[in-house]
Amino acid sequence: MVYEPTLMTGALLFLIGLAVVLLRRDVLFVLMGIEVMFNGAGLTAAAAGQYWQDSVGQILVLFLMTITGAELAVALVLVYLAFRRLRVTELAQIRSLRDVQPLPEESRS
């Protein structure tokens, strides 16, 4: 079986996700880009497992799907809370609201 098209598709998915993460500034688009990157890595792992005639690639994909599902659930809750409280979804606006406290004088040594 020829594995190059599968590996190229996985690499293309990863690069598209990376481009979305680097170019877009909306939180939801960044999360979608991260998910596309994970899907590309999962496709590559499944193809590698098939190439080596081992089920470890498929098991890795199952773990990857579980981890990305948990990551997405937590991230979507944080996005929802940020939007409900701040009414913004842009990463730059959320970062600009960070409150940095100066160090007290006695702890600077």
pLDDT in tens, 39-83: 999 999 999 999 999 999 999 999 999 999 999 999 999 889 888
Residue 29 in contact with residue 6, Cβ under 8 Å?
Answer: no
Q: Is the pLDDT of residue 94 over 60?
A: yes
Residue 10 has a pLDDT of 97
2 by Cβ neighbours in 10 Å (0-12 / 13-18 / 19+) ranks as exposed
78: amino acid identity, one letter? L
- 90 has which bridge partners? 26
d(CA 84, CA 93): 14
Give the C-alpha separation, 64 to 2, whole Å: 24
> Can you give the residue ranges of every domain in the chain?
9-88
Please check whether the domain covering 9-88 is classified as CATH 1.10.287.3510.
yes
Q: How confident is the model at residue 108 (pLDDT cuts 50, 70, 90)?
A: low
On whether the CB atoms of residues 10 and 44 are closer than 8 A, the answer is yes
Question: What DSSP element (H or E) covers 34?
Answer: helix 27-51
Which residues, other chains included, contact 87 with Cβ-Cβ below 8 Å and sequence gap of 6+?
none
Whether pLDDT at 91 is above 90:
no
